Amino acid sequence: MNYLAGYAAALVASLAADAVWLGTMAKRIYRPTLGDILIPGVNLPPAIVFYLLYPAGVVLFAVVPALRLGSPAAAAVYGALFGMFAYATYDLSNYATLRNWTLQLTLIDVAWGMVLSAIAASAGYMVAARF
């Protein structure tokens, strides 16, 4: 039950934080850099799959180990590391293959992935630790 509660908390935190980030940064960072390769809206099916899967990874690789250690700091650190590896995989692949993708965008997005994942893991840990 505690893992499910942690997943729910990580999911809500991820959605809320990413909504704020994308709502403020899409027009400032992503659209000017990527231009016409971005679609006008959001392709909902893959977005939904991502937002359902990603918090499961946060729980598995950050919340569960932190619960075993009894450490909220470990949740944040493991979350940030998970975010770094996941977002770096995406961003470095794009930087290697997409004409419009820049080093600046790569660094910004990987940093955001680390912050987002640390937030989600911390939220997941706080809720799961109560059960």
Task: With a cut of 90, say whether residue 40 has pLDDT above it.
Answer: no
Q: Convert the pLDDT of each residue in 49-95 to its tens digit.
A: 999 999 999 999 999 999 999 999 999 999 999 999 999 999 999 99
Task: With a cut of 90, say whether residue 36 has pLDDT above it.
Answer: no
Is residue 86 within 8 A of residue 117, CB to CB? The reply is: yes
More confident residue, 14 or 37: 14
Per DSSP, the residues of 23-90 read HHHIIIIIHHHHGGGS-SS--HHHHHHHHHHHHHHHIIIIIHHHHHHT-HHHHHHHHHHHHHHHHHHH
Banded model confidence at residue 30, pLDDT cuts 50, 70, 90: very high
pLDDT value, residue 7: 98
Share of the chain above pLDDT 90, in %: 92
Question: Could you give the CA distance from residue 16 to residue 83 in angstroms, rounded to a whole number?
Answer: 16
pTM of the predicted protein model: 0.95
Task: With a cut of 90, say whether residue 12 has pLDDT above it.
Answer: yes
CB within 8 Å of 24: residues ≥ 6 apart: none
Q: Convert the pLDDT of each residue in 45-56 to its tens digit.
A: 999 999 999 999
